[in-house]
Amino acid sequence: MSDQPTMTPGWEDTRSRLCQSEPEFYELEPGGALALPLATEGWMLEITPDGRMICQTGVDMDDIKSLLSDGTPEDLGTDELAKQAKYYLQPTVAKFRAALLRAGFEETTEMTEEYVAVTFHRTLDFQKLNEVRQAVRWCQQQFKGT
């Protein structure tokens, strides 16, 4: 996420407690979002200082170029690469889309020159730490063993 998020009241306390209860969380940057790898196909959970929970998966554009070029020096445009990347991500996204949408997440696709990512996001209330922890556990359960 390129935008600098605004901190929601309770972020510091929530961040600290989440790191204690879930040691796999790591900071993406000092004082910034917390990330947690999920058990399946490159999915990641992120808790942001502005009160969002994000489940996301993505693919690097260079990886898509390698998959599509098959040893040829063919030059594909960014739009075509992004289209192919979205197509490549659809099977893994389809496995989880319905459950995430039912749980109140909204789906978006992020595309840059470097990557394409499918993200599912919803808001959290840091004043309700038990609900935040429960949401983290729910996400972990959704992505276990598939």
* pLDDT digits 0-9 by tens, 50-64: 999 999 999 988 888
Go through the domains of the chain in sequence order and give each one's CATH number: 11-142 (3.30.1460)
CB 11 within 8 A of CB 47: no
Residue range 103-145, pLDDT digits in tens: 999 999 998 888 899 999 999 999 999 999 999 999 999 998 5
- C-alpha distance across the termini of the chain, in Å: 27
In this prediction the pTM is 0.83
Whether the per-residue pLDDT at 2 is higher than 70: the answer is: no
Residues 6+ apart with CB under 8 A from 35: 25, 26, 27, 28, 44, 45, 46
